Structure 1
Amino acid sequence: MTSHYEGGCDHVHVTASAEPIDNHECHCNVCKSVTGQQHTHVAFFNWGDLTADHPEKMTRQPFNKDNPDGPLELCTCSECGAALMLDDKEKRIRVAVPNVMGYDDAAFPKATYHAFWDESKGYAKPSDGRPVYDGLQPSFVWPAGA
């Protein structure tokens, strides 16, 4: 398997075997509450393209505390607590947040757009030349579950 990107911690190594299927700056309130950042570089991968070498060492918790039965789970290392990936219980995608999950953010392709921005956020609309959407880019199609 060719490794495109590697992240994780000393106990659990996470490897991407393909390029992301979506790559954006996320402005959603859930990402803000989890990362403490105004916006966060997020990369979606097809579910089987992002894997962990020791999944038995991952602790899972709901990604969205306001929707605990939602499809995304935040996976953290059971030994050191490091954030490792978001895993989709429907096995459609897995998500890497490069600057939070142990990746070299500079090695990732630059995010191509801004997602989940709205005027109520209390800051200026991004003006870096990338498209800005109130959700995921309109052309994004959720993959079928594995």
Structure 2
Amino acid sequence: MSHKYEGGCEHIHTHASNEPIDNHSCHCSVCKNVTGQDNTHVVFFNYGDIVVDNMAGLKRQPFNANNPNGPLELCTCAECGSPIMLDDKEKRIRVIVPNLMGYNSEQLPATYHAFYDPAAGAPAPSDGRPVYEGLRPDFVWPKPG
């Protein structure tokens, strides 16, 4: 069966049929440390909207090494090591990084830049999308599930 959005690896498949609740290019230091990218295309879905076919095959580790008890866990395939998703222990969101987690980035375009800090020394984004110091001002975190 085909779903609107699909990703994962050879061993673990994920999909979503509902639209994401947020798409942005993240400039935070945690994303930079985890991905090695200057900015990371990040897509938030409501927690229940990302379906995983092999939860037992996930290896979990803290997303933020400086906050190991934080809410987000990086889930990778225990067999091949591919990143699969970020899972929220509070069950509010699941996060996909399309270019690293098998999703089509063009289907899920970033609409703004988040966590841009001019003091970090990186040039300001110049692609015409809005730039914010955090998530977009109208973003509302879903209630924990």
Fold shared, TM-score > 0.5 on shorter chain = yes
The DSSP-based 3-state class of the residue aligned with 2:140 is coil
* In 2, Cα distance between equivalents of 1:104 and 1:111: 12
Please say if residues 63 and 73 of structure 1, whose CA atoms lie closer than 8 Å, have aligned partners that are also in contact: yes
Question: What corresponds to 1:97 in structure 2?
Answer: 97
The DSSP-based 3-state class of the residue aligned with 2:141 is coil
Question: Which deviates more, 24-33 or 118-127?
Answer: 118-127
* In 2, Cα distance between equivalents of 1:20 and 1:119: 28
Cα deviation for residue 117 of structure 1 reads 0.3
Unaligned runs of 5+ in 2: none
The DSSP-based 3-state class of the residue aligned with 1:43 is strand
**2:41 matches 1:23:** no
Letter in 1 for 2:55: P
Letter in 2 for 1:81: G
* In 1, Cα distance between equivalents of 2:2 and 2:45: 15
Letter in 1 for 2:131: V
Cα deviation for residue 106 of structure 1 reads 2.0
* In 1, Cα distance between equivalents of 2:89 and 2:124: 33
Q: Deviations over 1:51-87 (max 9, x none)?
A: 1100000010000000000000000000000000000
Cα deviation for residue 123 of structure 1 reads 1.4
The DSSP-based 3-state class of the residue aligned with 1:81 is coil
Letter in 2 for 1:67: N
Q: Deviations over 1:125-144 (max 9, x none)?
A: 11111110010001000000
* In 2, Cα distance between equivalents of 1:63 and 1:42: 14
* In 1, Cα distance between equivalents of 2:4 and 2:132: 27
* In 2, Cα distance between equivalents of 1:47 and 1:87: 8
Unaligned runs of 5+ in 1: none
Question: What corresponds to 1:116 in structure 2?
Answer: 115
Cα deviation for residue 2 of structure 1 reads 6.7
Question: What corresponds to 2:130 in structure 1?
Answer: 131
Please say if residues 27 and 116 of structure 1, whose CA atoms lie closer than 8 Å, have aligned partners that are also in contact: yes
Please say if residues 14 and 50 of structure 1, whose CA atoms lie closer than 8 Å, have aligned partners that are also in contact: yes
Alignment of 1:1-146 (within 5 A): 3-108=3-108, 110-146=109-145
Please say if residues 2 and 17 of structure 1, whose CA atoms lie closer than 8 Å, have aligned partners that are also in contact: no
The DSSP-based 3-state class of the residue aligned with 1:87 is strand
